[in-house]
Amino acid sequence: MTDRKLRVVVTRRLPEPIETRMSELFDARLNDSDEPMSAAELGAAIREADVLVPTLSDHIDQKLLAQAGPDMRLIANYGAGFDHIDVETARRRGITVTNTPGVLAEDTADMCMALILGVPRRISEGLTLMRSGEWHGWTPTGLTGSRIWGKRLGILGMGRIGQAVARRAKAFGLQVHYHNRRRLHQTVERDLDATYWDSLDQMLARIDILSINCPHTPATYHLLSSRRLQLMKQGAYIVNTARGEVIDENALTRALESGHIAGAGLDVFEMEPAVPAVNPRLLELPNVVLLPHMGSATTEGRIDMGEKVIMNIRTFADGHTPPDKVVPAMM
């Protein structure tokens, strides 16, 4: 790439061992404040850097990419999802984009499973009751939820995370159903005891709990539309640890308010730019567990993600195709 140390601009604070290693290897410009960069700051970064390391809270669009300086060759995203990056424009400008898949699948699946268990079993309502000091002891009818064992779980998106969820779900006695762009190999289906549905609509009508595990792409935007939510069984549950944009959040809010959907566990939201905006009506619903996009938030996972970023940068700088190059077919 160049003989001098690579100028790598990192837009947010990363785990300390990763920042230390980056400072050893590169001319790393770190963001000590951890404040999201403004559009002007991102513009300055992309003009000066050889490599930009953004996160999902940075919007890397056509307008920003038009400001790229002559040395900007790589956007090494810290995160698996890359829907905040205009990959096609980057490609046309000769800028490679990489991400960090794989290392966060198990952690995200754990959080997904926590919501699959926690929402139907009303854990958040139990916590609220305990904290209120209003719990007056056990009763036969108090806070009864919905049984998990034997229920049908539908997984929308059976990539690494979806499959990790399926393995966990199987151990909890859930019947696993899935819809995916491509059907899994028979041996994988057999291992997971998973039933494939070519038609999402037909699967939705038959499941008790839906887990969203697909990426946000133009094809999956509002895939869970108002019409599809209405296809779901009365009293079904929805868990989303993928991207908020896959669900029409207003339609979901209405379905929760009416009781058609019995509860939802949401770790992601439709409006998640640098400063996210969570629908206030969702915040008021008792049958909803909202988490601040923390599916991959383990110390180990966040370090692994940073290691992947470093590996992608170094491989690219050595003149090779980085292991996690994002290709348009993935979109």
Instruction: Give every CB contact of residue 295 below 8 A, 6+ residues apart in sequence.
Output: 104, 107, 108, 111, 112, 241, 267, 268
Residue with tokens 């991102």: 42
Least distance in angstroms from the C-beta of 242 to ligand DGY: 8
Degrees, nearest 5: CA angle 286-291-292: 140
Size of the site for ligand DGY (CB under 6 A): 7
Binding-site member from 81, 154, 244, 322 for ligand DGY (CB under 6 A): 81
CB 96 within 8 A of CB 74: yes
Structure-derived torsion over alpha carbons of residues 190, 194, 195, 201, reported in degrees to the nearest 10: -150
Identify which of residues 53 and 104 has a Cβ nearer to ligand DGY in the complex: 104
Identify which of residues 158 and 174 has a Cβ nearer to ligand DGY in the complex: 158
Identify which of residues 104 and 114 has a Cβ nearer to ligand DGY in the complex: 104
| Residue 80 touching ligand DGY (CB under 6 A) | yes
Enumerate residues 47-66 that contact ligand DGY by CB under 6 A.
56
Counting every residue, how long is the chain?
Answer: 331
Binding-site member from 11, 98, 213, 296 for ligand DGY (CB under 6 A): 296
| Residue 295 touching ligand DGY (CB under 6 A) | yes
Least distance in angstroms from the C-beta of 266 to ligand DGY: 13
Interstrand relation of 51-53 and 96-98 (parallel, antiparallel or unpaired): unpaired
Identify which of residues 154 and 295 has a Cβ nearer to ligand DGY in the complex: 295
| Residue 79 touching ligand DGY (CB under 6 A) | yes
Identify which of residues 279 and 296 has a Cβ nearer to ligand DGY in the complex: 296
Least distance in angstroms from the C-beta of 244 to ligand DGY: 10
Strands (E), the chain: 7-10, 27-29, 51-53, 74-76, 96-98, 152-156, 175-179, 194-196, 209-212, 236-240, 261-266, 288-290
What are the distances in angstroms from CA 322 to CA 52, 305, 312?
Answer: 15, 14, 5
Least distance in angstroms from the C-beta of 56 to ligand DGY: 5
| Residue 157 touching ligand DGY (CB under 6 A) | no
Least distance in angstroms from the C-beta of 81 to ligand DGY: 3
Active site residues: 243, 272, 293
Question: Which residues would be at the binding site for ligand DGY (CB under 6 A)?
Answer: 56, 79-81, 104, 295-296
